[in-house]
Amino acid sequence: MFKDKHILLGVTGGIAAYKAVELLRLLKKAGANVNVIVTKSALKFVGKTTFEVLSENPVLSDLYFDTQSLVKHIDLATWADAAVIAPATANTIAKLAHGIADDALSTTLLAVTAPVMICPSMNTDMYQNIRVQRNLDILETDGWHIIDPDSGVLACKAVGAGRLPDPWFILDRLEAILTRKDLKGKKILVSAGPTVEPIDPVRFVSNHSSGKMGYAIARAAEKRGGTVTLVSGPVNLDAPVGIERIDVETCEQMASQMLSNLDQADIIIKVAAVADYKPIDPKTSKIKKKDNNNKDLCISMTENPDILKLIGEKKTKDQFVVGFAAETDDLEKNALLKIKKKNLDMIAANLVGSSDSGFKADTNKVKLFFRDGSLFDIPLMEKEKVANILIDQVIKKMG
């Protein structure tokens, strides 16, 4: 997303200015070309050299002394694909809200027509002050994006809202702003992760699913403007930003959540690795070794409901249903059989067993099979990219 994008990073004078350094590093790592504009007070917190070295560009702090160009503020404003002000102080927010242009940053921002993201950071009382809130409302109404500050212990020792969010979060939201909103107005229901079927209160039957592929799809769909509900089995991943996550454990719980959210969904993507079988009779207290007289332990299992098949039976002609198939043999034959058996529009199939694709990897390699017999090959790449290509194909097929 950020490769060769032109990002203007505005830094104002708050203690959180040090986090702007990390944000700059993340932007550069993601491939962005960054120009930094600092206010005079920002330079009291972080030196210009730091921003210059990391951005590999001159840093603008004074319109009259800094530059060879007489219209540097216009050059930068025209150059920018997006601008992010992090941290944004109450003073700069007030100036921007009222069109005051009395330093390099506020003057440049008056000429920016690209999307602008403001990340306020200050003491809680200042942040909640009616004037600051009014100014933020003005900027939001004018179409700029405001990122709410985090709550916690502030530099002034007060506890409350006012902390600059983590740089990765700001980067994530900037990516969302820059993403084309081709899923706007669409509701997407995604399932991810494994299901866990109890044997007794301390043991269970499950599988190796990490949830990474399903979470990547949910995140990509949200950034593309979709309203996403993610039904997730137990995974070690943070809840994605801007998404309703419903946590479940068993196949029965996943089935119930998927089916109760089904009617509202336009696109259903069933990535979860559901346990096909569950213990018939899960014990309410821990099975002790001595209960078994040192003999082999047999656990009788019964079949779980096939959630995707139930969804396929209920789906309307306007809904688009995608399944996933992890296979060890006969990929194409099994994938096509599952499309038919479960009444799917598309199935994303991959061969498991390789370390660079499948359950725990950060990369994946899948073949998309469609109901009409067509095929689309996604070679090995990061799951984030696979997710976006898969969504491109869904949108294309849905017309």
On whether 308 is known to bind a ligand per the annotation, the reply is: yes
The residue from 24, 217, 326, 386 that contacts ligand CTP (CB under 6 A) is 326
The residue from 183, 228, 251, 386 that contacts ligand CTP (CB under 6 A) is 251
On whether 164 is known to bind a ligand per the annotation, the reply is: no
Q: Where in 262-281 is the site for ligand CTP (CB under 6 A)?
A: 270, 272, 274, 276
Strand order in the sheet with 33-38: 33-38, 6-11, 82-88, 116-120, 145-146
Catalytic residue among 119, 156, 251, 298, which?
A: 156
Q: Alpha-carbon distance 296 to 213, whole Å?
A: 37
Of 226 and 312, the one with the shorter C-beta distance to ligand CTP is 312
Of 39 and 210, the one with the shorter C-beta distance to ligand CTP is 210
The residue from 338, 346, 384, 388 that contacts ligand CTP (CB under 6 A) is 338
Of 6 and 245, the one with the shorter C-beta distance to ligand CTP is 245
Work out how close the CB of 374 gets to ligand CTP at its nearest, in angstroms, rounded to a whole number.
19
On whether 305 is known to bind a ligand per the annotation, the reply is: yes
Of 294 and 328, the one with the shorter C-beta distance to ligand CTP is 328
- x/- mask, ligand CTP, residues 297-316, rule CB under 6 A, reads -------x-xxx--------
Interface with ligand CTP: number of residues (CB under 6 A): 14
On whether 29 is known to bind a ligand per the annotation, the reply is: no
Work out how close the CB of 368 gets to ligand CTP at its nearest, in angstroms, rounded to a whole number.
13
Active site residue 298: no
Q: Alpha-carbon distance 378 to 364, whole Å?
A: 8
On whether 286 is known to bind a ligand per the annotation, the reply is: yes
Q: Alpha-carbon distance 27 to 24, whole Å?
A: 5
Work out how close the CB of 251 gets to ligand CTP at its nearest, in angstroms, rounded to a whole number.
6
On whether 19 is known to bind a ligand per the annotation, the reply is: no
On whether 306 is known to bind a ligand per the annotation, the reply is: yes
Tokens (6 digits) for 19: 């986090």
Residue 210 within binding range of ligand CTP, rule CB under 6 A: no
Residue 324 within binding range of ligand CTP, rule CB under 6 A: yes
Work out how close the CB of 380 gets to ligand CTP at its nearest, in angstroms, rounded to a whole number.
20
- x/- mask, ligand CTP, residues 124-153, rule CB under 6 A, reads ------------------------------
Of 18 and 277, the one with the shorter C-beta distance to ligand CTP is 277
Helix, strand or coil, per DSSP, at residue 188: strand
Applying CB under 6 A, the span of 33-41, 226-234, 285-293, 317-325 interacting with ligand CTP comes to 317-325
Of 219 and 278, the one with the shorter C-beta distance to ligand CTP is 278
Q: Alpha-carbon distance 371 to 397, whole Å?
A: 10
Residue 249 within binding range of ligand CTP, rule CB under 6 A: no
Show the 3-state SS of the chain: CCCCCEEEEEECCCCCHHHHHHHHHHHHHCCCEEEEEECCCHHHHCCHHHHHHHHCCCCECCCCCCCCCCCHHHHHHHHCCEEEEEEECHHHHHHHHCCCCCCHHHHHHHHCCCCEEEEECCCHHHHHCHHHHHHHHHHHHCCCEECCCEEEECCCCCEEEEECCCHHHHHHHHHHHHCCCCCCCCEEEEEECECCEEEECCEEECCCCCCHHHHHHHHHHHHCCCEEEEEECCCCCCCCCCCEEEECCCHHHHHHHHHHCCCCCCEEEECCECCCEEECCCCCCCCCHHHHCCCCCCCCEEECCCHHHHHHHHCCCCCEEEEEEEECCCHHHHHHHHHHHHCCCEEEEEECCCCCCCCCCCEEEEEEEECCCCEEEEEEEEHHHHHHHHHHHHHHHHC
Of 104 and 213, the one with the shorter C-beta distance to ligand CTP is 213
Helix, strand or coil, per DSSP, at residue 35: strand
CA dihedral over 6, 12, 14, 15, signed as positive or negative: positive
The residue from 193, 240, 312, 323 that contacts ligand CTP (CB under 6 A) is 323
Binding-site positions for CTP: 276, 286, 305-308, 324, 338, 342
Residues that bind ligand CTP (CB under 6 A): 251, 270, 272, 274, 276, 304, 306-308, 323-326, 338
Enumerate the active-site residues: 156
Q: Binding site residues, as ranges?
A: 276, 286, 305-308, 324, 338, 342
